[in-house]
A and B are shown apart, each in its own frame.
Chain A
Amino acid sequence: MIPVFTWLLFSTVSTGHPPSWQMQDDLSQLSFTASYDGGGFEGRFDRFEVALTFDPEHPDSAELDVTIQADSINTDNTERDETLATGDWFDFQSHPEAVYRARGFSRLPSGRWGADGTLTLKGIGQPTPIEFDWHRDAQELTISGRARMVGDAEIDRTDFEIGAGDWADPALIGHQVFVEFSLVFTPAAPQATD
């Protein structure tokens, strides 16, 4: 709700700025694949917020801010999730939120979009590029003019001291974690006014 109000407050002065987008929580997913004993297992974050301003015609001025509630991590294993709360892992108590922040998107040779943002996890900020596709529903086909942002990133968990100490053994739990996101947005305000 807050981004909507923000838009209502500032829409009159921000005319001409790239459009902001309202994420549809129930349609959006932030998941990851980590490895254990040589095989992959999946998990997700159930609570996160995304503030996005993006006009594909003016990607330089794009702004992406993601706030993830660390304790919403869910790997379908209670014992594992309880361990992830501890100091060796996400340390929920000291670092309840993870943040991703990117300013300006660019077209990649592959045709996807890219952003060179910073991921701050457990209080440690690391440059973390993401790549994504941006699908915009044709407005004449849907009332909402919905957009989907589907992409991924690869991180090394040890860069953020996730799984420290004896847990750092890669033979047990792999260092590489593949993050995937599928986010659905509606324009934060009627496009016609832009």
Chain B
Amino acid sequence: MSRPIRWNLLARLLHWLMAIGLIGNLVLGKVVHEMDLSPDKLRTLMVHKSIGITLLALAIVRLLWALMSRAPAPVVGLMRLQHLVARLTHGLLYLCMLALPISGWVVNSAANVPMSWFGLFQIPDPFQVSSRYKHDALEVHEFLAMTLIVLISLHAAAALYHHVVRRDATLRRMLFGKITDSEEVHP
């Protein structure tokens, strides 16, 4: 069975939507963290949480989509080790995209604070975590944020390496331009 040469449209849309959302929310999280408690901090925090919940939903959709559809084959000429490292990084990225917003949700639970999605509807608290774990939950949330920054950096560096140094189609398969026949890759 032949594998597609590029990522399907939904996968590409989700990838870039989440790239913007994740990086934006990492920045927003850092900004909120530096603020003293004030109405503006709370407003910023509400946006941060709403984006986080959205990213969690998108990550779940993306994970299901990835499991259901076939990924394009790796470009030709990759060493086995490179392929393994790529798979490991992608696995950790998925794990982080799920764990980071969930850990934020747990922080919110331990903070005894209600949460809405952009003020439109209430997000329930399925965790009911005691307030004495708030500090620990926040530490985990921050650790996962740092981990995600490292993973995104590795991921972007690898994509650029493929694009600029190896000049293969790895990055273009995730973009929206045309891929020429000569760049088609087969397993």
Contacting residues, chain A, for B39 (C-beta < 8 A): 166-167, 169, 172
- Report the nearest A residue to B120, measured CB to CB: A38
A169 CA to B119 CA in the complex, in Å?
Answer: 14
Give the shortest distance, in Å, between A142 (CB) and chain B (any CB). 34
Interface residues of B in 40-95 (CB under 8 A from A): 40, 42-43, 46
A3 CA to B131 CA in the complex, in Å?
Answer: 36
Contacting residues, chain B, for A39 (C-beta < 8 A): 114-116, 122
Q: Are B37 and A79 in contact (CB under 8 A)?
A: yes
A76 CA to B130 CA in the complex, in Å?
Answer: 9
A127 contacts chain B at the CB level, 8 A cutoff: no
Q: Are B131 and A76 in contact (CB under 8 A)?
A: yes
* CB within 8 Å: A-B pair count: 50
Contacting residues, chain A, for B113 (C-beta < 8 A): 36-37, 41, 77, 80
Q: Are B116 and A75 in contact (CB under 8 A)?
A: no
Give the shortest distance, in Å, between A34 (CB) and chain B (any CB). 10
Interface residues on chain A, number (Cβ under 8 Å): 21
A38 CA to B122 CA in the complex, in Å?
Answer: 7
Interface residues of A in 156-173 (CB under 8 A from B): 166-167, 169, 171-172
Contacting residues, chain B, for A172 (C-beta < 8 A): 39, 42-43
Contacting residues, chain B, for A128 (C-beta < 8 A): none
Q: Are B134 and A171 in contact (CB under 8 A)?
A: no
- Report the nearest B residue to A34, measured CB to CB: B114
Q: Are B112 and A37 in contact (CB under 8 A)?
A: no
Give the shortest distance, in Å, between B126 (CB) and chain A (any CB). 14
A40 contacts chain B at the CB level, 8 A cutoff: yes
Give the shortest distance, in Å, between A32 (CB) and chain B (any CB). 13
Q: Are A77 and B119 in contact (CB under 8 A)?
A: no
Interface residues of A in 106-160 (CB under 8 A from B): none
Q: A35-B114, A37-B46, A39-B122 are in contact. Are A77 and B131 (CB under 8 A)?
A: yes
Q: Are B43 and A40 in contact (CB under 8 A)?
A: no
B185 contacts chain A at the CB level, 8 A cutoff: no
Q: Are B37 and A36 in contact (CB under 8 A)?
A: no
Measured CB to CB, the residues of B under 8 A from A are: 37-40, 42-43, 46, 111-116, 119, 122, 131, 134
Measured CB to CB, the residues of A under 8 A from B are: 35-42, 75-80, 82-83, 166-167, 169, 171-172
- Given A40-B114, A77-B113, A79-B37, 6 new contacts (CB under 8 A): A36-B42, A37-B115, A37-B116, A41-B113, A78-B131, A172-B43
